């Protein structure tokens, strides 16, 4: 029994040491990003492999652009749509998280009520609302897999804190805009602008920027539905909010 406890203690020490080494590795990589933009993210690599598997060849568009070559309209539109408090929080916007929890709980309650009436539980799926900030989205895309569990969420939080500590808000936003997905094999603001509007990202109008911002939660879906009524209506809403957000 004593030998078993000793072995368990040694195993726990090794696990803890491995976890700490991993955090040092992640933090070091993020600190290096203050000097050199990462060539790719974990999400991009997974999507590239998926495209090759499905299509038999790689469809890819991505061109890095510094912050000065990305339209202020797009920056404001993305912040208005995804994270209006970006310049105010330190990586996690707790008010948004709380609101997301409330919306999700309400959605679940509605589904359960409908299920009781229609006896169709297997067809009732609540819409899940996220509360992630731009920093959290970047943390997830940079280094993590697509799994959803508490351990992965904890790791996302650690990377989020490292990003906020090692990089400026402008650097975080620039990284996000250069690596976020905007369609099948379309990554970054420049590629998206060329793909949808045949112009550089520096020349996007407020309306064009708002359209791109609205696409972000479901880029591949909206890529197939460019005339979506929701896309147009939501873009108008985002345009009305653009001047209310602060740029870093």
Q: Please tell me the predicted confidence (pLDDT) of residue 122.
A: 42
The pairing of strands 186-187 and 181-183 is: antiparallel
Other Cβ atoms within 10 Å of 64 Cβ, number: 15
Kindly list the domain boundaries of the chain, sorted by start residue: 39-89+140-244, 94-130
Two tokens, residue 128? 């899940």
Report the candidate in 132, 141, 123, 130 with the shortest Cα–Cα distance to residue 42: 141
Architecture of the CATH domain 39-89+140-244: Orthogonal Bundle (1.10)
Look at the alpha carbons of 32, 38, 158, 189 in this order and tell me if their dihedral is positive or negative: positive
Report the candidate in 197, 220, 192, 222 with the shortest Cα–Cα distance to residue 51: 220
Two tokens, residue 196? 């949808």
Encode pLDDT of 143-193 as tens digits.
876 666 777 788 888 899 999 999 999 999 999 999 999 999 999 999 999
- Asked if the model's pLDDT at residue 101 lies above 80, the reply is no
Encode pLDDT of 1-10 as tens digits.
677 778 787 8
First CA to last CA across the chain, in angstroms?
Answer: 58
- Mean pLDDT (the chain) is 84
Residue 242: pLDDT band by 50, 70, 90 thresholds? Answer: very high
**What predicted TM-score, i.e. pTM, was given to this entire model?**
0.81
Look at the alpha carbons of 69, 72, 76, 81 in this order and tell me if their dihedral is positive or negative: negative
């Amino acid at each position: 029994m004593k030998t078993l406890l000793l072995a368990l203690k040694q195993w726990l020490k090794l696990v803890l040491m491995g976890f700490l080494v991993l955090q040092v590795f992640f933090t070091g990589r993020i600190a290096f990003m203050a000097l050199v933009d990462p060539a790719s993210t974990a999400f991009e690599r997974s999507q590239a492999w998926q495209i090759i598997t499905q299509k038999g060849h790689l469809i890819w568009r991505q061109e890095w652009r510094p912050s000065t070559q990305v339209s202020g309209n797009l920056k404001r539109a993305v912040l208005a749509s995804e994270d209006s408090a970006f310049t105010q929080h330190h990586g996690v916007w707790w008010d948004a998280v709380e609101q997301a929890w409330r919306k999700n709980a309400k959605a679940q309650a509605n589904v359960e009520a409908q299920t009781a009436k229609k006896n169709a539980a297997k067809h009732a799926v609540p819409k899940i609302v996220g509360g992630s900030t731009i920093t959290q989205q970047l943390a997830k895309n940079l280094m993590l897999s697509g799994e959803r569990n508490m351990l992965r969420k904890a790791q996302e939080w650690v990377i989020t804190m490292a990003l906020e500590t090692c990089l400026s808000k402008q650097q975080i936003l620039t990284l996000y805009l250069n690596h976020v997905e905007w369609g099948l094999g379309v990554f970054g603001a420049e590629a998206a602008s060329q793909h949808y509007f045949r112009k550089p990202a520096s020349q996007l109008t407020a309306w064009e920027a708002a359209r791109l911002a609205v696409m972000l939660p479901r880029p591949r879906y909206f890529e197939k539905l460019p005339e979506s009524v929701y896309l147009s209506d939501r873009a108008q809403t985002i345009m009305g909010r653009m001047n209310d957000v602060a740029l870093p």
